[in-house]
Amino acid sequence: MIDFDYTLTTVVLGGALVGLLSGVFGVYAVLRKQSLLGDTISHSALPGIALVFLVLQVKHPLALILGAMVSGWLGTMIISSVSNRTRIKLDTIMAVVLAVFFGLGLALLSLIQKLPTANQAGLTKFLYGNASTMLRQDVYVMAGFSAVALIVVFLLWKEFKLATFDVDFARSLGFPIRALDMILLSLIVVAITIGLQMVGVVLMSAMLVAPAAAARQWTNRMGVMTLISAFFGMLASVSGALLSSTIEKLPTGPSTVCIITLVFVFSILFAPTRGLLWQGLKRRYNHGEIALARILEELYWLAQNHDSLAHYHELRLLQAINHQRIDTYIANLSRQKLVELSGAGGIRLTAAGLERAESAIEETNGSAAKS
């Protein structure tokens, strides 16, 4: 490593571009429930890369990326035209296209390796990704494509959003859905192919889907989701690329995917509102609130029977409701000063408790009347 700074900045810049673009366009893949599409596109790109090398004998990044794009785009066009013209299910078509294109790509790669002239500087990096072989030249090409893709998505933001949320309504307003879909699909192809050298065809789909799926956990706005997704994508691919260029023989794809997986799992667990932890706590809180209200109501009816609040009822009566954790709930109520406990195993409502019980009963009746 003579020029470490050069390699490092190249890797960081390249990683940032890959993460940014796959983060932004992953949002559409996720919201349109087309997560598998990324996998198909990336695998479909492989024969294009191999063919460009085989026929033109060049390894210029622009040529390889264009080859990948044409081939990936061809794969998606086959998918959409077959699914439009036949009754074959989309996932079936995608699985077939993925396998056929990937198989073809692998066959071509092994052919290339048998060529006497082959300078081996491996096209295999396109399988698992290799950030450290990246040159400034690669970054420039990636930056050019990224800029175009981001400008288009910025200009067509409203159209893409509407077509993603409510396609029939968008069509009824006169937006040409087929053309919009085609543009968006092509941009997803761009986002995937520029990431192939770094992440590899095998794992690229994770880079498309995971940042967006993680970002969805943190926000309820599509714009914010896109920003967070881009951030997660950049975070994962920059740190994944740095990891793999410092640890020998660690391909970039797997290291990147491991990091984005951590981000994803963290988001699933800990994001506010949508996170599993938050939802679990909320459910427990709700159960608790309902149980407390039930106990107050119970005491209210007991008090009604006795025509007096002052009367202490036997705790055992409530325990007979046989609610799990009844003692915890009663302790809780008494802490809130909604009930009073007598030393001799008695319980009664306080004035505040009575008020709460009445409003709880009203609420139950109200919602019953409504439905």
Partner 1 sequence: MNNESPASCAPLDVEDLTVAYHEKPVLWDVDCKIAKGTLLAIVGPNGAGKSTFIKACLGLVPTAAGRVNIFGKPYAANRKKVGYVPQRESVDWDFPTHALDVVMMGRYGHLGWFARPGRPERDAAMDALEKVGMAEFAHRQISQLSGGQQQRVFLARALVQDSALYFMDEPFSGVDAATERAIMQLLQELRSQGKTVVVVHHDLQTLNEYFDWCMLLNVRRVAIGPVEEVLTKENLHRAYGGRAAFLRA
Residue 27 CB, shortest distance to partner 1, in Å, is 9
Count the site residues for partner 1 by CB under 8 A.
29
Decide: 10 and 65 in contact? Cβ < 8 Å: no
User: Is residue 165 involved in binding partner 1 (CB under 8 A)?
Assistant: yes
Q: Contacting partner 1 (CB under 8 A), which of 3, 5, 168, 248?
A: 168
User: Is residue 166 involved in binding partner 1 (CB under 8 A)?
Assistant: yes
Q: Contacting partner 1 (CB under 8 A), which of 155, 179, 276, 281?
A: 155
Residue 222 CB, shortest distance to partner 1, in Å, is 5
Residue 56 CB, shortest distance to partner 1, in Å, is 38
Residue 71 CB, shortest distance to partner 1, in Å, is 31
C-alpha pair distances (Å), 219 with each of 87, 225, 236, 254, 264:
37, 6, 19, 28, 14
Residue 176 CB, shortest distance to partner 1, in Å, is 10
Task: Give whichever of 167 and 341 is closer to partner 1, judged by the CB atom.
Answer: 167
Q: Contacting partner 1 (CB under 8 A), which of 169, 266, 285, 301?
A: 169
User: Is residue 140 involved in binding partner 1 (CB under 8 A)?
Assistant: no
Q: Contacting partner 1 (CB under 8 A), which of 164, 239, 244, 252?
A: 164
Give, as ranges, the residues between 209 and 248 that touch partner 1 (CB under 8 A): 216, 219-222, 224-225
Task: Give whichever of 158 and 249 is closer to partner 1, judged by the CB atom.
Answer: 158
Site string for partner 1, 28-47 (x = CB under 8 A): ---x-x--------------
Residue 129 CB, shortest distance to partner 1, in Å, is 30
Decide: 130 and 197 in contact? Cβ < 8 Å: yes
Task: Give whichever of 85 and 335 is closer to partner 1, judged by the CB atom.
Answer: 85
| Residue numbers at the binding site for partner 1 (CB under 8 A) | 31, 33, 155-159, 161-162, 164-166, 168-175, 216, 219-222, 224-225, 370-371
